[in-house]
Amino acid sequence: MAKHKEEKTNVMRILDQRKIPYTARFYQEDQGPEGTREYGVHIAETLGQDPARGFKTLVARGASGGIHVFEVPAPDTLDLKKAARAAGEKSVELLHVAEINAVTGYIRGGCSPVGMKKPYPVIFHTTALDYDTIYISGGRIGAQVEISPQALLELLGAETADIIVK
């Protein structure tokens, strides 16, 4: 298990530039369990966090060809039909892992809605607003930021919608 030096990521530098308060959280990289749901829960538990406050970044392509970013609580699963409706698309399909870096500039497991190569529409699950702070990727594996969801939504011009499987 490699440990990153606890240095600022691009996400943290952007938040600093915008004077948006956050708390950096670092953890040791490990493979954890397979799958994004299990891994997200594993990271939250490793850091002593409520997994429902940890949001994973999922990137999809709509039927129109447009890219959309969805932020879903770690224990939950994105409902593609609800996500498509929320994004104004006929359908959406998650990007293949091989495309994530080319589209976002991030790698799987370290993808953040802050600081992507281009500004894409972002939709958070409605539960993000249930908390004073939530956790998102800090822009690399081993780093997270704890941040106000209101500040984050404002920064990203993001919306909220019910986008998870019930």
For residue range 73-96, list pLDDT tens digits in order. 999 999 999 999 999 999 999 999
Helix and strand element counts for the chain (H, E): 5, 8
Structural domain includes residue 37: yes
CA distance 165 to 117: 29
Output 44 or 61, whichever has higher pLDDT. 61
pLDDT given at position 29: 72
Query: 7: pLDDT confidence band, cut at 50, 70 and 90?
Result: confident
- Residue whose structure tokens are 């104004």: 88
Query: In Å, what is the CA distance from 1 to each residue of 22, 83, 100, 146, 150?
Result: 26, 35, 23, 23, 34
pLDDT given at position 31: 53
CATH of the domain at 135: 3.90.960.10
Residue type, 115: G
CA distance 82 to 148: 25
pLDDT tens-digit map of 91-122: 999 999 999 999 999 998 899 999 999 999 99
Query: 140: pLDDT confidence band, cut at 50, 70 and 90?
Result: very high
pLDDT given at position 37: 54
**Contact (CB, 8 A) for 103 and 95:** yes
Structural domain total, the chain: 1
What number is the average pLDDT over the span 138-151?
96
By the 10 Å C-beta count (0-12 exposed, 13-18 middle, 19+ buried), 101 is classed as middle
pLDDT of 3 above 80: no
pLDDT of 13 above 90: yes
Range of the domain at 136: 25-161
pLDDT of 144 above 90: yes
Give me the sheet containing 143-147, strands edge to edge: 22-26, 143-147, 134-137
Query: 1: pLDDT confidence band, cut at 50, 70 and 90?
Result: very low
Structural domain includes residue 16: no
Structural domain includes residue 44: yes
CA distance 158 to 32: 30
Structural domain includes residue 84: yes
